[in-house]
Amino acid sequence: MLTPASAPPLHGLRIIEFSGIGPGPFAGMMLADMGAEIIRIERPGASSPTGQGDPALDFLARGRKSLALNLKAPGAVDLALRLIAGADGVIEGFRPGVMERLGLGPEVCLARNDRLVYGRMTGWGQEGPIAQTAGHDLNYIALTGALWASGEKDRAPSFPLNLLGDFGGGGMFLAFGMVTGLLQAARTGRGDVVDAAIVDGTAALMAMLHSRRAMGLWRDERASNALDGGVPWYGVYDCADGGWITIGALEPQFWAVLLDKLGLTEAELGDRKEPGTWPAMRARLAAIFRSQPRDHWVALLQDSDACFAPVLSPAEAVEHAHNRARGIFSDAPVQPMPAPRFSRAPTPLPDAAPVPGAHSRMVLEAAGFSMAEIEEYFRDGTVT
């Protein structure tokens, strides 16, 4: 049995998660990774979110208990509300109004459990002129200005997979909102509704950019600023073997280390304070880095303060010595380990994602349903 001294940070919290895709499950994964008990309500017969592959390899669904519940069946809503009455939180990621139409909206749920933290994950938010329209990560980061600011000058903006919107501005902000709400509920005895919108979270991630704009230190011109590829000492360079490396020598002392490693002097490369020297400086650095394969630059620069790293594929990243030393990824199957880490509370890798309905009976028994009720739910197909 876990004791408080040996338990993960969120051990003892129970969250009801209505299954979805993308940022909602990612928030659930973050909470499960920290030890929360996540009971995932799934449709009977559901498979992996994409309908392809082994559901056990859906890492976003790891660490859950699975209840297969037909929410359209008579009595299903009451069953869900009884579970919610004994929970600390709820996570849902439907379009605004869907949970209300099901009879499981926040007003109904908080009436049953006024300490409940009700987390809602959407792209556009619960209200606003386009709140009811469909969208995906690319649309959300486009509307917040984040997409416009990403990419090379004079080319269409490039997008960072769906990491910036779905998972950064969405799932992580929902997880943060849930923990914040749960802390407030523990202190005040009152729950709350968390409206986590990807557009809100993505805009918040751009606070530094807007701060620099307000100070007159940012130009709304792509690849014209210190952190968007506008300077030659912060960027990606080609290597002789087709690989790439990154240089991030923003501070003068790190720039000095880079020049020393490359056998260059500021006099021959140019003054960083003079933007007129930057095109020639970039061309010179590009020619130097293109003259040798990536591993040459790794051997020369990796253990220095030149602010350097090679661009690794996902497979290479798993095998990198630093990542292996820190145990960033698990073995067989390879997946990211829980993050962040704590000095006292353990955060081991949770169990694999369960088959939908794997814990249906267990969840109902633990929630206090009678054996007669449970058998009736299984007979009429409400639960599978």
Catalytic residue ranges:
136, 166
The total of other beta-carbon atoms located within 10 Å of residue 260's CB is 12
Tokens of 67: 């209840």
- Compute how many other C-beta atoms are within 10 angstroms of the C-beta atom of residue 227: 14
- What does the alpha-carbon distance between residue 288 and residue 240 come to, in Å, rounded to a whole number? 10
Q: Which amino acid is at 366?
A: A
What H or E segment, with its residue span, contains residue 64?
Answer: strand 64-68
Tally of CB atoms within 10 A around 43: 16
Say if strands 244-248 and 308-310 run parallel, antiparallel, or are unpaired.
Answer: antiparallel
Q: CA-CA distance, 255 to 213, in Å (whole number)?
A: 25
Sign of CA dihedral 18, 20, 23, 27: positive
| Contact partners, residue 303, CB within 8 Å, separation at least 6 | none
